[in-house]
């Protein structure tokens, strides 16, 4: 090489390593945020699933209570709010509604009871709110005041 000519410029790789490191940090940070978010959503979903199962059982308990009133006493209250005992269903509110219609068929009195039981937990509009509702009809028959035999 001749001393009067400068040496050709050799490209330096120092800047490339810095850009690669920053890119890698951004990708890993995004992955970490995604994992934390996914974990939080999974936790909330699991809690809602459990509360939904509890609300279903509370609604079922309300329906069975009302069905017992109909079948044993041949009457039901138009609207009742139940307080369920115990820790398992604590915090749930159960509203039971019953509508009765009686029809005459000769000497038979047919009564159809429409029962709706609604269990709720939490405040509507929040992520903790859960509601389950069960509805069914029960028919009773009286022949001259005595239960009908089919």
Determine the average pLDDT of the residues in 109-136. Answer: 91
16 pLDDT higher than 70: yes
Contact indicator for 63, 134 with CB cutoff of 8 Å:
yes
Q: The pTM is what? A: 0.69
Determine the average pLDDT of the residues in 131-135. Answer: 95
Report the pLDDT value the prediction gives residue 38, as an integer from 0 to 100.
81
Q: How many CB atoms lie within 10 A of CB 132?
A: 21
Contact indicator for 122, 114 with CB cutoff of 8 Å:
no
pLDDT digits (tens, 9 = 90+) for 53-76: 999 999 999 999 999 999 888 788
**Domains in the chain: boundaries:** 18-147
Beta-bridge partner residues of 102: 111
Q: How confident is the model at residue 77 (pLDDT cuts 50, 70, 90)?
A: confident
Nearest CA-CA partner of 118 in 141, 138, 98: 98
Report the pLDDT value the prediction gives residue 1, as an integer from 0 to 100.
54
Report the pLDDT value the prediction gives residue 135, as an integer from 0 to 100.
95
Q: How confident is the model at residue 100 (pLDDT cuts 50, 70, 90)?
A: very high
């Amino acid at each position: 090489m001749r001393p009067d000519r400068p040496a050709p410029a050799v490209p330096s790789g120092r800047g490339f390593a810095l850009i690669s490191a920053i890119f890698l940090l951004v990708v890993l940070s995004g992955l970490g945020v995604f994992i934390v978010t996914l974990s939080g959503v999974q936790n909330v979903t699991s809690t809602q699933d459990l509360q939904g199962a509890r609300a279903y059982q509370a609604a079922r308990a309300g329906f069975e209570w009302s069905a017992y009133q109909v079948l044993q006493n041949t009457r039901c209250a138009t609207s009742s709010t139940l307080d369920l005992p115990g820790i398992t269903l604590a915090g749930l509110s159960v509203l039971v509604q019953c509508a009765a219609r009686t029809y005459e068929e000769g000497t038979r009195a047919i009564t159809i009871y429409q029962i709706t039981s609604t269990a709720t937990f939490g405040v509507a509009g929040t992520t903790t709110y859960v509601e389950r509702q069960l509805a069914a009809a029960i028919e009773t028959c009286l022949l001259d005041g005595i239960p009908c035999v089919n």
